[in-house]
Structure 1
Amino acid sequence: MTRYGEVIGQPVAQSKSPAIHSHWLARAGIDAEYRYQTVIEPLLKPYLDERRDDPNWCGCNITMPLKMSAPAYCDRLDPGAEKLDAVNLVVREGADLVGYNTDGEGFLEPLRDRLSERHLFRMARVMGTGGAARAICSALADKGFVLVVAGRDPGRANRMIEALGLPGDHHTAAIAQFAGPTDFPFDEREGCCDLVVNATPLGMRGHDPLPFDISHAPPGSIFYDIVTDPIDTPFLEAARAAGFETIDGRAMLLGQAAVSFEKMFGQAPDRRADQALLESLV
């Protein structure tokens, strides 16, 4: 039988991960497949128990809503996943199922040129408190960002920041606070780096849009949405119409997938045709 990797979660049929990994497998000439498998939380442990005994299984990426449940079913965790208490990749290493978290590295990939510059101040408004938000907040704090983390329950956002032990002085807010307009007088000085990040499922096909009023974004902000279905969310459309730079979810997906591919299939992907790949992910 052919070796294979998978992406698991619910919903998962719309995932673009199979197209990405299949593209890289073909370029590398690797005899393997990558597919999706619907798995809900009560079936996560049975799924992993079954795959543990399958010699053709190379590993799985884990998406919503299983990232924060998966650590309990791994034999051990990579230090990054242990810190985050969230797993988006499980691979077999010897007899062990090992959990990793590649979300932070993937999220930062399209920002690396920007973050190589010096800034007087960096701030990120991060909407969400789930597994992806944990990885994003940790990665941004390590890059010197002051965070404003918004969730339906600000207490949960506070607990997340405390549990992660993030360096710096950060803040929390109710996500509803950003739904209406503000007349806050933003500092328009040069040399600042501001991000507005949607790390929630809001805006995903079948979900309500993220309630975010553009007036909460400082001048020059970059809007970054990790949702991948649809690629162009109402959050990004509104930002672009107001003249802001935007980054869609394909960028993070590609970045974290590259790390996952190497761990599952034993070699780094050939990324020379990534632009064409991105354009095909619609």
Structure 2
Amino acid sequence: MTTPATPPMPERAEISGSTRIYAVLGCPVAQVKAPALLNPVFARLGLDAVLVPVLAEPEYLGEIVRGLQRIGNLDGLLVTVPHKAQVRQYADTVSSAVTQSGSANALRREPDGRWSAENFDGIGFVRGLRATGFDLAGKRVSLIGAGGAGGALAAALLAAGAAHLDVCDRDGDRVGALVARLGPYWPGRAAGAATPRLDGADLVVNATPLGLRPDDPLPFDVAGLPPGAMVADIIMEPRETALLRAAEARGHRIHHGSHMLTQQLDLYRDFFRLDTVERSEQAELT
């Protein structure tokens, strides 16, 4: 009897003195999938670059970001929970998506040393829905969580054609501020509440951190879901959150958080001008 051969481990990109650095900030950060997805992109493009996770405690966020921005070979930052709303203040310019959502998940160093902020969570989430065949046009959506990620999803869901959006958050000031930001762009199509509004929802989205830890409570009671509603979670790890398992057990279609990140890869590639770097390096070789 022969023992099956062990698949070879993928080679790590060699770190050199000219390596360009990208960092993903979070607290916690062990769950992030971006390094596993983006570092192979760097390798495929032949770039001397690496993305590393940085555990950033909220009370030290400013010191960490300002310190990283002073590293001469650091070209960009990705941002995850719970820093998306706060990190925008460390950018010199922000996009319309950042203004509408109130949060950022990517910062880029410009050639002049200034920093630009963008948010791809919303468009990544919408693209993920479309890739699985879910059409938002005319749909009623219930969004749980008005924080950094929730704000980005709210703006993108309305821009993609959702007929109405109910946003729930225990922080009344936060949900009120989000609905106020959305109002000028999509009048009358967004409303806020302290508790989830599930009646009539075609799509219910968890945009809170609830589900990252095994002992977390569910963000809402799945017994209140209307028949036919799809349930989405933006949590990457674990892939099958308790919410998704509970919803699927009741016969609901589910949507995993990994879709939101994988759909952002090309957006990150463009935002950080990785194709430009690749073309420049190729030109020097010809």
Q: Please indicate the TM-score interval, normalised by the length of the shorter structure.
A: 0.7 to 0.9
Could you tell me how far apart the structure 1 residues matched to 2:230 and 2:136 are? 16
Match of 1:175 among 189, 195, 208: 195
Length-normalised TM-score, structure 1: 0.82
Does the 8 A contact of 1:10 with 1:64 survive in 2? Answer: yes
Does the 8 A contact of 2:228 with 2:252 survive in 1? Answer: yes
Count of residues in correspondence between the two structures = 255
Could you tell me how far apart the structure 2 residues matched to 1:84 and 1:118 are? 19
1:80 aligns with 2:80: no
1:253 corresponds to: 261
Residue 262 of structure 1 aligns to a residue whose secondary structure is helix
1:5 corresponds to: 22
Structural mapping, 1:57-72, within 5 Å: 57-72=74-89
1:190 corresponds to: none
Could you tell me how far apart the structure 2 residues matched to 1:78 and 1:206 are? 36
Deviation of residue 132 (structure 1)? 0.4
Deviation of residue 83 (structure 1)? 2.6
Residue 63 of structure 2 aligns to a residue whose secondary structure is helix
1:43 aligns with 2:63: no
Match of 2:49 among 27, 32, 53: 32
Could you tell me how far apart the structure 1 residues matched to 2:136 and 2:156 are? 17
Deviation per residue, 1:27-74 (Å, 9 max, x gap) = 222221111011123333333333333232120101111111112111
Identity of aligned residues (%): 33
Could you tell me how far apart the structure 2 residues matched to 1:22 and 1:128 are? 30
Structural mapping, 1:134-153, within 5 Å: 134-145=151-162, 146-153=164-171
Closer, same or farther: CA 117–239 of 1 in aligned 2, 3 Å: closer
Does the 8 A contact of 1:201 with 1:207 survive in 2? Answer: no
Structural mapping, 1:74-113, within 5 Å: 74-94=91-111, 95-112=113-130
Q: Which has the larger radius of gyration?
A: 2
Which residues of structure 2 form unaligned runs of 5+?
A: 1-16, 277-286
Letter in 2 for 1:123: R
Larger relative contact order (Cα-Cα within 8 Å, sequence gap ≥ 6): 1
Moved over 4 A (4+): 113-119
Deviation of residue 126 (structure 1)? 0.5
Does the 8 A contact of 1:204 with 1:229 survive in 2? Answer: yes
Deviation of residue 156 (structure 1)? 3.2
Letter in 2 for 1:213: D
Residue 267 of structure 1 aligns to a residue whose secondary structure is helix
1:230 aligns with 2:238: yes
CA RMSD of aligned residues (A): 2.4
Match of 2:146 among 129, 135, 158: 129
Residue 196 of structure 1 aligns to a residue whose secondary structure is strand
Residue 108 of structure 2 aligns to a residue whose secondary structure is strand
Closer, same or farther: CA 259–41 of 1 in aligned 2, 3 Å: same
Which residues of structure 1 form unaligned runs of 5+?
A: 179-183, 187-192, 269-282
Letter in 2 for 1:220: G
Letter in 2 for 1:148: D
